[in-house]
Amino acid sequence: MTGARRLTITWAVATAQVIAAAVAATVAASVAAAQSPKPIGLITGGTVLLEAKSVTRDAGIITAALRVQFHKPTKVPGGNWYSSRTLLMLDCRKQVVAVKENWYYSNAKGTKVAQHKEVGIPGYATPLPGSMPKVALDHLCQAK
């Protein structure tokens, strides 16, 4: 193989690698943007965000994952909580909600779980005004 031929093949491989990396970065960025939580309201001390991909509807019950990004870290024994994630069930007709699971995160990125609780038998209740479940109920149960 001549030097010119070897150089052409090397250049073609390098170009293909650069193009593949650019395509992968673009796809990863668009996937991340599509999955990022959407702000739906404010509560005292935080912003309520909906994970749109988590929303399911079955027999009049909406299940959804919501996050609360705390404006300031919440001090708890053993450290700080920066955000929470809650899996809720909502009954729009009765205007009640039930919590299935809660996560609290001890880092600003919301990746380090400090506490996780799973409710054995979720019970429906009327949400308190100004609470994250009330924001979720108002947002998800709007007349379309």
Report the topology of domain 38-140: Lipocalin (2.40.128)
SS3 category, 4? helix
Instruction: Output the six-digit token pair for 60.
Output: 């009049």
Strand pairing class (46-58; 38-43): antiparallel
pTM of the predicted protein model: 0.73
> What band does 36 get if pLDDT is binned at 50, 70 and 90?
confident
pLDDT confidence of residue 2: 64
Q: What are the tens digits of pLDDT across the range 73-107? A: 999 998 999 999 999 999 999 999 999 999 999 99
